[in-house]
Amino acid sequence: MTARRNKRIDPKNFIIAALIFIVGIESYFLYQSNENFREFFIHSSKSAPLSKKITKKERAPVERSAFTPVIEDEPEVIARVPAAAVPKKNSTDGKKAFIAIVIDDWGYSTKNCQYLREIKSPISVAVLPDLPHSGDVMQCAHEAGKEIMLHLPMEAHNNSDEYPPDYLLKTNMSPIKVDHLLSNILDKMPLVAGVNNHMGSKATEDKIMMSTVFKQLKHRGLFFMDSRVTSKSVCAPLARQSGVPFASRDVFLDNVNEPTAVQKRLADLVKIAKKRGKALAIGHDRALTLQAIKESVPTFKDQGIELVTVKEYINLK
């Protein structure tokens, strides 16, 4: 009993216990009142991750599909995406551009018909009437799924070539004769979707001539594409008045029949399409031109350019 009474509490233990109590009370109030302290307390209490933590410098690449939007406010993530996984941006800022290409002067031979099968994208084939191979070319184009057009022979201001009588539509013909000749041609070419002019610098400046042509095209539901061989063409306003679907040429691809010149004109065509949203070109039934188009199709796709028929081109908004 005496030993138990003589045992005294050590003051040091009392002080330590008091300090622990005070610190505990203050921590509790800090936890309740200070959000930053509470967040630090929670994170510091969690166990360490099993794998090595990825730092900003070592951040893992993010895979993106072609349909995954790129987030503008995450440059550090985007910069580390493997090049093959990042969809290429089009120079049209994500907007697709469209090109239509018409190849004129078909009907003299079938030697280039192979290109109509080899070029898998749409191009339009403008066939001259009543030539030795006009029908053969139209059959080939039809089997290859290409749009067929009538390449309508029309009077020029200056022309040294010889043509059979009444082969060209001339401004000194009566509207009845023009309508009759055009109707006969179209009756023999039932697969055509539209018409463009072969030569015709004089004819496309003549309001009576073009009004007569458009009346027949309106009746048959055909479009007209102005090859634009003269700056004085009256075709655009008359087509609107007549209710005929209409387009006009932007680029001639092969006025200079050399590979570098044709490639340069194809590049010009792409520039116009990217700037305006669409562009239309004319080339001719030449192996060089068709080969250049064939080789350019993959690059068109890479640049966000889609090839379309002239009819589709006219319907674009």
Per DSSP, the residues of the chain read -HHHHH----HHHHHHHHHHHHHHHHHHHHHHH-HHHHHHHHHHHSPPPSSPPPPSTTPPPPP--TTSPPPTT-HHHHTTS-GGGSPPPPTTTT--EEEEEEEEEETS-STTHHHHHH--S--EEEE-TT-TTHHHHHHHHHHTT-EEEEEEEE--SS------TT-SB-TTS-HHHHHHHHHHHHHT-TT--EEEEEE-TTGGG-HHHHHHHHHHHHHHT-EEEE----TT--HHHHHHHHT--EEE--EES-SS-SHHHHHHHHHHHHHHHHHHSEEEEEEES-HHHHHHHHHHHHHHHHTTEEE--HHHHHH--
Q: Distance from CA of residue 82 to its chain's centroid?
A: 26
pLDDT in tens, 229-286: 999 999 999 999 999 999 999 999 999 999 999 999 999 999 999 999 999 999 999 9
Q: What is the per-residue pLDDT for 223?
A: 98
Q: What is the mean pLDDT of residues 59-78?
A: 27
Q: Please determine, for residue 314, whether its predicted confidence score (pLDDT) is greater than 60.
A: yes
Q: Please determine, for residue 151, whether its predicted confidence score (pLDDT) is greater than 90.
A: yes
If one counts every other C-beta atom within 10 angstroms of the C-beta of residue 262, the result is 23
CATH of domain 97-315: 3.20.20.370
**Closest-CA residue to 227 (of 159, 281, 181):** 281
pTM (whole model) above 0.85? no
Q: With both helix axes pointing from N to C terminus, report the angle between 175-187 and 207-220 in degrees, rounded to the nearest 10.
A: 40
pLDDT in tens, 86-135: 233 333 445 789 999 999 999 999 999 999 999 999 999 999 999 999 99
For all residues of the chain together, what is the average pLDDT? Answer: 80
Give the angle subtended at the CA of 163 by the CAs of 252 and 248, to the nearest 5°.
25
Q: What is the mean pLDDT of residues 207-223?
A: 98
Q: What is the per-residue pLDDT for 159?
A: 87
Measured in Å, how far apart are the chain's first and last C-alpha atoms? Answer: 108
Distance in angstroms (rounded) separating the CA atoms of residues 224 and 243: 11
Residue 284: both structure tokens together: 């001719």
- The pLDDT > 70 percentage for the chain reads 70
- Residue 225 contacts residue 102 (beta carbons within 8 Å): yes
Q: Please determine, for residue 75, whether its predicted confidence score (pLDDT) is greater than 80.
A: no
